[in-house]
Amino acid sequence: MTETIALHTRLKPGAAAEYAEAHANIPTELVAALRAAGVSDWRIWRSGDELFHLVEVEDYQTMRHALADDPVNVVWQERMSALLAVEDDYSGNDRGIEQVWRLP
């Protein structure tokens, strides 16, 4: 069964263009690492400096743990930390944004 996880991150002021450029050129090794960790889809929307992610993944916590020390992901996270207002937590203990309603 696949989980759908929503995440929220925030860009540092003035980082939108560099963030967009980075995501226009995702390393193929990172895509492979995400897929190997169970991610089937990851979409990101931006409103100003606010970023909203929707992740389709087999098991979110397992994915986070698997990527925590992956060398390709570590390099990517270092690049993203220069652009994001808050560092990402790869403890695997978060559950993303709480869903409060869904159309029945």
Cβ contact 6:96 at 8 Å: yes
Domains belonging to the chain, first-starting first, are 3-81 (3.30.70.1090)
Cβ neighbours around 40 below 10 Å, total = 11
Query: Coil, strand or helix: which one is 9?
Result: strand
pTM over the 0.85 mark: yes
Tell me the average confidence (pLDDT) per consecutive run of 10 residues in the chain, 104 residues long.
Answer: 94 97 98 98 98 96 94 95 81 83 96
Query: Coil, strand or helix: which one is 102?
Result: coil
